[in-house]
Amino acid sequence: MEALGIPSAVLITEPFIPTAKEIARIKGLPEFEFVILKHPLGSLNEEELRERAREAAPQIKNIICQ
């Protein structure tokens, strides 16, 4: 999306940090910034997901507005 000029943020959960960093390195973006969420997400109810989104919102804003 960023290559198309659309500001974007990548959200991952904690167990995927190593994988995300390796993919970024392979793509030539070793300093790529991710929004890291607590794991898991799949078992959360709607309100719990909303809380995770509220927690992530400032990080997302910082990445998109850079």
pLDDT digits (tens, 9 = 90+) for 52-61: 999 999 999 9
How much is the pTM?
A: 0.85
CA atoms within 13 Å, Cβ hemisphere of 60: 12
Q: What is the mean pLDDT of the chain?
A: 95
